[in-house]
Chains A and B, each alone.
Chain A
Amino acid sequence: MLAVEMAKAAHRWWTWVMAAAFIAIPVLIVTALLLSTDRPEPGEGPPFLTLVQVNGVFASLVGITTIQPFFLPLAAGLLAGDAIAGESQAGTLRYLLARPVGRTRLVVAKYASVMILVGGAVVLVGLTGLAVGGAAYGLGPLPTLSGATLPVGVALARVVLAGMYVTAGMAGLVAIGLFISTLTDSGPGATVATVGIYIVMQILGALSALRIIHPYLLSHYSLAFTGLFRSPVALDEVMTGLVAYASYVAVFLGGAVAVFRRKDVTS
C-alpha cells in the first residue's frame, strides 16, 4: 500500500510543483544574497542568514529554517488533510477498503507516505542549499553559534540531523491532519483545518501571556535544532521537542486509527 501511495504521488502534478517550489527557496536566498550589495544585519531574516556568505553550508540551514515555520507545515497539512478525506471525496476510498485494504494499514500507509514526502521536501531544500551555497560561497569548516569551528564532515552531519529534526517536527502535525482527515469527507476542509490549527499554535506561541501553555504547543520546539550548532551541542530542547512530537503522534495517529476502524464509509 505504501508503494502504491508513493507511486500515486509521483504521478500527481502538484507533487512536482511543490518539489520545484522547495528547490526554488535556497536558490532564491543565495541569488538574493549574491545580487545584494549589503550584507544582512544579525537578526535580519531567518537564523544563520548572515553566515551564508561566510560558508555555503549555511545556505542549506537557512533554506531549512525558511521552510520550517510556514511552507513545510502548509505542505504537510495539505498532504495529511487530503490523505483520507480526499480519497473519500473522490469515492476511491470505498474501492480501496473493498479490495480489501485493512483500515489500520491504510491509515499507517497514508501517514508513512506523507512523512516520506515531507522528509523529501526537507532533503530537497538541504541538498539544493548545499549545491547553490557551495557553488556561490564554497563549503568549509562551520563556525558554531558558540564560537567554535566544526570540520566540514561534522558540519554536514549536523545539517542532516537538523533536517531530520525539522522533519520530525512535522510528524505531530501530520498526525493531526490525518486525524482530521478521518473525520470528514472533504479534502480541502481537512487541509484548511490542519493548517489553521498550526497557525493558531504559532499565534498562541507568540503571546507571552500564554506562556504556561507554550510547552504543549507543537510550534514551540521548532527552532530547537539550532542547539545542534552550539559547542557543546545543546540537546535538551531537541529531546524535549522530540518527546512532544512523539506524544502528538501517539495521541492523534492513535485517534485516527480508532476513528477510522469504526467509521461508516458512505461516500
Chain B
Amino acid sequence: MSVLATSDLTKRYGDELVVDHLNLSIAAGDLYGFLGPNGAGKSTTIRMALGLVFPDGGSVEVGGHSVFSSSEARSRALSRVGALVEEPAFWGYLSGRRNLEYFARAGGNKVDRRARLDDIDEVLRQVGLADAAAKRVKAYSQGMRQRLGIGRALLGHPDLLVLDEPTNGLDPQGMKEVRALLRRLADNGTTVFVSSHLLGEVEAMCDRVGVLVAGKLVAEGPPGHLVDEPDRVRVDVDDRRHALDVLRVVPGISLDELEARSGGGPGPIKVGLANGATPAGVNAALVSAGIGVSALVPEHARLEDVFLTLTEGE
C-alpha cells in the first residue's frame, strides 16, 4: 500500500500551471528523493501533501486517507506525518524544548499528543540538542534550528516523514548524521519523502528518485537507473588501437566516436552495451584477440548528469 499517493494532482496560480497532473506513489519504507529545478513545483506538491495548499484538481492520500475530502479525513491523514517544510520556523522567544512541547500539544488526538510529549527527550538527544534544549530558539544558529526542525518532525515516531531540504545549514558532520538517521529510519519502516538540491546526497541515500520539471514527473526510479540508457563499461587495455578495431565488429557494442579516433597504447576505453552485449562478452573478445585487459568496470550515469539532462532548458 502507498503511504503517500497523488492522483492527477494539479495546481494553478493564476495562469501558471505549477503542478501538472502529478501521479506519485510512495511505498512504506521507501526513502524517496524528490528532485527538480527551482520553480518546478516541489514545494507546492509538498504543501498540498500536507493540506496547506488546496489543489485545483486531483487528490492526495496519506496513509490511505484523503487529505482534502473532509477535515476529519485530513486529521487522520496527517496525524502520523512529521514534516519539515522549507526553512524551519519556531517561536523564537521560547526554548527549544518548549517549542517541541507546544507543537506536540497543539494538534492531534490525546494518544498522539502523549506519544509526542513522551518523545521530546529522545528526539533532542537524537538531533544533538539535548544540551541546548533550554536555550531560546532565537539564540540558535541556523544549523541548530534545522536540527530542531528535524526533531519536531520526528516527534511521536511518524509513519511518514516529509522533509524539504533537511540538510540545509548543517555542517558536513551534521549532514552525514542526518543522512544516516534518515537511512536508519527508512530501514526500520518509516517512509521518508525528501526534497533536496544536493544530488550527491540524494544519490547516496535514496531508494527511489522522482524528477519534477515544470510540474510534471519526467523520470522516476532508483537513482542509478533513472533514464533508459545503455549500460556502459570502462575497459583498461594494453593496446587501445587494437582493442578498438576488435570491438568495432562485436554486435551490440557502441564506441564514443572521438575516442574511436584517438591514438593507441595502453589506456581506458568506454564501451556502450546494447542488444544482449555483456561485459563478459567484451572481455572474451579482447582476450581472444590477445589484448591484455587490466580492468573492466561497469559505469552508470551519475544522478547529477541525468538531472541536468532531464532539466535542460528549464
Which residues of A line the B interface, CB within 8 A?
1, 3-4, 7-8, 11-13, 90-92, 94-104, 262, 264-266
> Are B85's CB and A95's CB within 8 A?
yes
**5 A-B Cβ contacts within 8 A?**
A95-B152, A98-B52, A102-B71, A266-B52, A266-B53
Q: How large is the interface on B (under 10, 10 to 19, 20 to 34, 35 or more residues)?
A: 20 to 34
* Per-residue interface assignment for chain B, residues 80 to 114, with 1 indicating a CB less than 8 Å from any chain A CB and 0 otherwise: 01010111111111100010001101111000000
> Are A99's CB and B91's CB within 8 A?
no
Say whether chain B's binding surface is mostly helix, strand, loop, or mixed.
loop
Residues of A within 8 A of B87 (CB): 91
> Are B106's CB and A101's CB within 8 A?
yes
Any A CB within 8 A of the CB of B150: no
> Which residue, of B85, B88, B89, B105, has the highest number of chain A Cβ atoms within 10 A?
B89
* Distance, CA A85 to CA B90, complexed state (A): 15
Least Cβ–Cβ distance between A89 and chain B, in angstroms: 10
Answer whether A13 and B89 are a contact pair too, CB < 8 Å, given A264-B54, A265-B52. Answer: no
* Distance, CA A12 to CA B93, complexed state (A): 7
> Are A90's CB and B75's CB within 8 A?
no
Least Cβ–Cβ distance between B213 and chain A, in angstroms: 21
Which residues of B line the A interface, CB within 8 A?
47, 50-54, 71, 74-75, 78-79, 81, 83, 85-94, 98, 102-103, 105-108, 152
* Distance, CA A189 to CA B88, complexed state (A): 23
Return the contact of B83 from the options A91, A95, A104 (Cβ within 8 A).
Answer: A95
> Are B106's CB and A99's CB within 8 A?
yes
* Distance, CA A242 to CA B51, complexed state (A): 37
> Are B102's CB and A8's CB within 8 A?
yes
Residues of B within 8 A of A12 (CB): 93
Return the contact of B81 from the options A92, A98, A101, A264 (Cβ within 8 A).
Answer: A98
* Distance, CA A77 to CA B93, complexed state (A): 21
Sort A-B residue pairs by CB-CB distance and give the 7 closest, nearest first: A91-B89, A99-B107, A101-B107, A100-B78, A265-B52, A98-B50, A264-B53
> Are B103's CB and A99's CB within 8 A?
yes
Least Cβ–Cβ distance between A43 and chain B, in angstroms: 44
